[in-house]
A and B are shown apart, each in its own frame.
Chain A
């Protein structure tokens, strides 16, 4: 290990140290504000340290890790999202009177796991990162254990995630057995267009099951609505952004490196998954009456859109996927912030009726929520539109017509249920509806900060996308250049 090695791992070291410091703080004296403050500082510091590291990228720590601009971008996304989640959680947890401080340790560790995924180039570090992420999530999902739904969600996630890890691990073992390497770069060179043997094919299929579970794509999506519904709203936001972002970063790095586009069977498998996700996610969301469940099904559909970008396999695909993921992260974080800010102590305001007539009581919040819904639906002037535009152009560029047509058609279906929430908010309130305690509560300063930041980002991204696009192109195109040059 040289000084540069340590320097390039700075963000991870900061987060890991912060987790230990929080543990010491709890041992000394429990104080919710102090612990939340330390976690916020850690995320901010880790985020800022990324800018310094650009000086030494790309830097490899053989054999496990690689720190390139692509990884830095995804780590930035992870840390920024975790920062927002921490602010929301502080506000959300304040009203509970059990041990709150451990929540932040788990949050820090989960972010650490997700960023490990972003910098992994070896099966060992991939699995390590994935396990740190999911073990922290098991506890985070079931954190408010006084609710029945919460425990149910935690248990479901525990059982299914453990099973999917087993699939992933067995897949890795088979790939290793047939290729003789666990390093992504070595694998890329060993394969380099050669035919996959039956062992490797089964191995990749099992790995797709494991990764598909974490990304919640059809047919591995069954946990999503229950976990989204049962988990505390900030944790749901965390799953939707950090957990999926980290795993998607890994998916892109791994399958772009081995040049999946040469393997018809894998491309077909992913295409089927993408089409099924878009159709099932959007159609099932129509049947829901709970905002968190609607967002859960919509997240399945959005991951399907992301896979379209990934499958298009041209020089636009990594850019488009990253752009879309960024836009989606901003939007879904905003949507779940509002759900969590409106939630009372006893239960969350997540039923569609809770939002009926919201505009007449909380005009600003509903305006922001409307903007988030428009972005999810992909209406112009929001971040979601730019993201969807790039995905479509990537798909059209590669003439993936079936995928593109399904994307367009299901987006129209999606519009219906997003607008259903919006219509509910703007319809006139009735007198006899049950009043939610959370609805009338004033929003705390941290909540305002998160919402304002996300709304500004959303609109800015939507109106002046050029800056974001060139940033993303600068950062992530390194991935494709490196691997494409290696393959050719």
Chain B
């Protein structure tokens, strides 16, 4: 087997990567300077003081949009793959992609109807609720 790829250079390479990293970490551990001042533990040692926590609550709408992006982005992958092989797959492929796009349309309809596409609370609904409450007060 002459065309078999030689594996030992890869092994040497991998080994040397680990070796170099280990040497760098160990050497800097022993040779490097260390200091422990008042500000050392701060997130930005020489910057602005931090305020508040970084763990913000993000509206779930962002995640929904991210998911839609995934779904509809992946659609594009399938449709483009079909388009490349348009002549080869023929009518069966055409039928398949029709069904695929049809299902996607139904999904879009469904998402629209259950309100998943509303980016924020609808203003009309707020006004409606407000008027309703006003009436109740009066």
Contacts and interface: CB of A to CB of B under 8 A. Distances in A.
Interface of A: 1, 20, 23-24, 26-28, 99
Contacts, number: 20
A20 B103 contact: yes
Contacts of B103: 20
B101 to A, nearest CB: 12
Interface in B78-118: 92, 103, 106-107, 109-110, 112-114
Which secondary structure dominates chain A's binding surface? helix
Contacts of A20: 103, 106
Contacts of B110: 23-24, 26-27
A293 B26 CA distance: 53
B92 A23 contact: no
Contacts of B112: 27
Given A26-B113, A26-B114, A27-B113, A1 B106 contact: no
Given A26-B113, A99-B114, 7 more contacts: A1-B92, A23-B107, A23-B110, A24-B109, A26-B114, A27-B109, A27-B114
9 contacts: A1-B92, A20-B103, A20-B106, A23-B107, A23-B110, A24-B106, A26-B110, A27-B110, A27-B112
Sorted nearest first, the 5 A-B pairs with minimum C-beta distance are A27-B113, A27-B110, A23-B110, A27-B109, A1-B92
Nearest to A13: B99
B30 to A, nearest CB: 40
A470 to B, nearest CB: 40
A19 to B, nearest CB: 9
Contacts of B114: 26-27, 99
Interface string B13-35: 00000000000000000000000
Q: Contact residue range for chain B?
A: under 10
Interface of B: 92, 103, 106-107, 109-110, 112-114
A23 B92 CA distance: 25
Contacts of B113: 26-28
Contacts of B92: 1
Contacts of A27: 106, 109-110, 112-114
Contacts of A23: 106-107, 110
Interface centre among B106, B110, B112, B113 (most CB of A within 10 A): B110
Contacts of B109: 24, 27
A23 B103 CA distance: 10
A26 B116 CA distance: 13
A430 to B, nearest CB: 48
A310 B106 CA distance: 43
Interface centre among A24, A27, A99 (most CB of B within 10 A): A27
B79 to A, nearest CB: 18
Nearest to A101: B114
A20 B114 CA distance: 15
Contacts of A99: 114
A181 to B, nearest CB: 22
A23 B108 CA distance: 10
Contacts of A1: 92
A28 B109 CA distance: 9
Interface centre among A23, A24, A26 (most CB of B within 10 A): A23
Contacts of A24: 106, 109-110
Contacts of B106: 20, 23-24, 27
A23 B102 CA distance: 12
Nearest to B111: A27
A99 B114 CA distance: 10
A480 to B, nearest CB: 34
A109 to B, nearest CB: 12
Contacts of A28: 113
Contacts of A26: 110, 113-114
A70 to B, nearest CB: 27
A1 B96 CA distance: 11
A1 B107 CA distance: 26
Nearest to B95: A1
A1 B91 CA distance: 10
B75 to A, nearest CB: 16
B70 to A, nearest CB: 14
Nearest to A2: B92
A1 B109 CA distance: 30
B60 to A, nearest CB: 14
A481 to B, nearest CB: 32
B82 to A, nearest CB: 15
A24 B110 CA distance: 7
A27 B107 CA distance: 9
A23 B114 CA distance: 11
A412 B126 CA distance: 66
A432 to B, nearest CB: 46
A381 to B, nearest CB: 48
A464 B6 CA distance: 67
Nearest to B113: A27
A24 B105 CA distance: 10
A345 to B, nearest CB: 24
B113 to A, nearest CB: 4
Nearest to A99: B114
A135 to B, nearest CB: 13
A59 B48 CA distance: 72
A20 B107 CA distance: 8
A119 to B, nearest CB: 18
Nearest to A105: B110
A27 B110 CA distance: 5
